[in-house]
Structure 1
Amino acid sequence: MGVTPCGNTRTRTARRTKSHWLAAAELGLISSTFSTIVSQLFAARIGRDASVDWMTVAAIPARDWAISAEPSWSAILAGIAFHQWADFSWAMVFFGLLGRWTAELRPLTILMLALPWAVFSSATEWFVLVPLLPFWQPLFTLQQPYWIGLLVHGASAFMYPLFAWLRWPPGEAPESDARFGKVRLSGSLAIVIALAGITLLSSLGRELPWIGRDKVSDQTYIRHMTAHHAQGIELARLGIKRAQDPDLRSLAMLMVASQTGENRIFDNWWQSWFDTAMPGCSAEERSDMPGYLTSVQMQQVSAASPDQFDALFVEMMTLHHKGAVKMADQQWRSDGDPRLRIMAHAIRHEQQGEIALMQGAAGIAAVTAAFRNMFADNVN
C-alpha cells in the first residue's frame, strides 16, 4: 500500500506536464529568435557584416538568387528565416526526437549538455548537411569559418535550459524550475539590451576602445587591407559586368558585398579607435602590398576579350586573394587588437575559400579545403 500513492503521485505529475513536442516547439521559437538577435547585434563587434552573412545563409537553399553585390532585404530575410528554421529544427531534435532521454532533465544538466550539442549541431551543418547532403552548397563552408556557426548555435543552446520550465503548463512548474527559467529569461534580456546599447554607441562612432599592443601595426594593417579591398572590389565589379560564367558572376557579387562590408567595419573602427580620418596609402605602399595588381594588370583584365575574360579574371583575382590571405595571416599571428585578429582569421578563410570556389571546388574537396583553411595559409 505504501508504493501505490507514490506511483499515483508520479502519474499525476506526469499528466500535468505538456507534450515534450509542444514544449520543444516553444523552446525552438525562443532559442532561434534569441540567436538571431544576438547574431545581428554581435556580428560587427568581431568584424562581420551581418547582412552579408544572412545573404550567404540564404544562398544555401536559394543558390545564386540570394547573391548580390549589395545584400537585398529579400535575401536577408530569407537568410534569417532559414537560420531560424534550422535552429528550431535542432531544438525539436534535442527535446522532441530525443525527448525520451532529455525531456525530464534538470536545468543544470541541460546547461551542461548545451555546449556539446552546439558543437555537434554546428559541425554537422558545416561539414555535412550544407556542403554535402542534402544541400550540396560549398559556398557557406568555404566562405564562413566554422567558429561563426558555433557561436550562433551556442547562442541558441544558451536558451535550452528553459525547457525544464516550458514543459509545464503555466503556473504548475516546480518553484525551482520556474525560478531558474525566470532568471534565465532576465539574463537573456540583459544580454540583448547590453548588445543593443553597444551597437547604438558604435553607430554613434563610439566603438569599444582599441586594446591591442602595437597601434602602428594595427593602423598599417587597416589602411593596407582597406586599400587592398578597394582594388578587389574594383576587380570584382568587372567580373559582375563581364564574366560569361553565371557562377563566376555570382561569386564576384559576393566578393563585392563581403569586401565592401569589411571596409565599412575597418572605417568605423578606425574612426572610433583613433579619432582621425584614415590616411590613404602611398603608391610605394601599394606596390609593396602582396597581391596588389599593377595598373597594367588591371587594364589587361578590363580589355580582355569575352572569350578570354573569365580565365584572366580568375588568374588575377586569385593572385589578388593570395596577397590578402598573406596579409590577414600575418595580422592573425600578431599582437593586435583581438577583434582585428578574429576578423583577419575570417578574411584568411573567406578568401582562400573564394579561390577554391573559382576553381570549382565542391563536395568532399570543398569540405577538406575549408577545414584546412581554418588553420593555415594554404595558398602562399
Structure 2
Amino acid sequence: MKHTRPRMRRITLVAATATSALALAACGSNDSGSHSGNDSPAKPASSPSAQAPSGTHNAADVAFAKGMIPHHRQAVEMADLAVTRAASPQVKELADKIKKAQGPEIKTMSRWLTAWHEQVPEEMPGMDHSAHSEMPGMMGMKEMDALKKKSGKDFDTSFLEMMVGHHQGAVKMAGAEKDKGSFGRAKTLAADIIKAQNAEITQMNKLLGKS
C-alpha cells in the first residue's frame, strides 16, 4: 500500500498536466481559428477599383455621351478622308491628332452608357448623319458627300472650314455638360474637349489665314 499511494499520486499529476495542456491547446486553436477566419483567403479584399464609387450621373450626362459619340464619329470620319485627299502636311497631322484623341473618347463614353444601362448609339459605315443634324456643328450627308469628292488644296480648305464648325459645336455641347452634368469624369472630359478643340480651332483658323 505504501508503494501504491505514491504511484497513484504520480498518475493523478500526469493526468492533470495533460488535461491542462489540452485546454491550452484548445484555446490556442480557437484563437487561431478566429484570426484565420478574419483573414480567410475565401474572402479576399476587394481591389481598389472595385471599392471605388462609380459616382452619380444625371440626364445631362447621358445626353452628353449619347450626343458626343456620333459627333466624334463624324469628326473621325472626316479625319479619315484627309489621309488620301489632303495636300497639306499640317492638315494630315491635325487629322491624325483628331483621330487619336476622339477615338478613345468614343470608347470611354460608350463604356459609361453601358454601365448606366443606356443604349450606345449604333455605328454604321456610311450612316446618314442627318439624323443628328440638330446637334451643333454636325454635318449633313450632302456636305459629307461633297467633301469626299474633293482633293488637294480644295479638300484642305473645305476640311478646315467644316472642322472648325464641327469643333465649335462640340465645345458648345461640352459646355452644357460642364454646366448641367453631375458625373465627375464626364465633366472632366467635357473640360478637356473644350480646351483641346478650342486650341485646334485656333490652329485651323491660322491655316485658313483667318488670324
Q: Structure 1 length as normaliser, TM-score? A: 0.38
Equivalent pair of 1:218/1:336 in contact (CA under 8 Å): yes
Deviations 1:62-114 (A, max 9, x none): xxxxxxxxxxxxxxxxxxxxxxxxxxxxxxxxxxxxxxxxxxxxxxxxxxxxx
In structure 2, distance between residues paired with 1:279 and 1:352: 26
In structure 2, distance between residues paired with 1:245 and 1:258: 20
Match of 1:275 among 110, 117, 121: 117
Asked if 1:221 is matched to 2:60, the reply is no
Deviating 4+ runs (over 3 angstroms): 279-285
Shift in Å, 1:248? 1.3
Alignment gaps of 5+ in structure 1: 1-195, 362-380
Shift in Å, 1:257? 0.7
Equivalent pair of 2:174/2:194 in contact (CA under 8 Å): yes
In structure 2, distance between residues paired with 1:279 and 1:308: 32
Report the counterpart of residue 136 of structure 2 in structure 1: 290
Report the counterpart of residue 211 of structure 1 in structure 2: 56
Asked if 1:340 is matched to 2:181, the reply is no
Alignment of 1:1-380 (within 5 A): 197-198=48-49, 208-212=53-57, 215-272=58-115, 274-280=116-122, 286-360=132-206
Equivalent pair of 2:130/2:139 in contact (CA under 8 Å): no
Equivalent pair of 2:79/2:99 in contact (CA under 8 Å): yes
Equivalent pair of 1:232/1:320 in contact (CA under 8 Å): yes
- State, as a whole percentage, how many aligned pairs show the same letter: 28
Equivalent pair of 1:334/1:341 in contact (CA under 8 Å): no
In structure 1, distance between residues paired with 2:139 and 2:114: 28
Shift in alpha-carbon separation, 1:312–1:279, aligned structure 2, 3 A? closer
RMSD over aligned CA atoms reads: 2.4
Secondary structure at the aligned position of 1:296 is classed as: helix
Shift in alpha-carbon separation, 1:208–1:244, aligned structure 2, 3 A? farther
Deviations 1:160-189 (A, max 9, x none): xxxxxxxxxxxxxxxxxxxxxxxxxxxxxx
Shift in alpha-carbon separation, 1:358–1:283, aligned structure 2, 3 A? closer
Pick which of 284-293 and 218-227 moved more.
284-293
Equivalent pair of 1:329/1:344 in contact (CA under 8 Å): yes
How many residue pairs match? The answer is 157
Shift in Å, 1:333? 1.3
Shift in Å, 1:229? 0.3
Shift in Å, 1:280? 4.2
Shift in Å, 1:246? 0.7
Shift in alpha-carbon separation, 1:341–1:248, aligned structure 2, 3 A? same
Shift in Å, 1:283? 6.6
Shift in Å, 1:268? 1.5
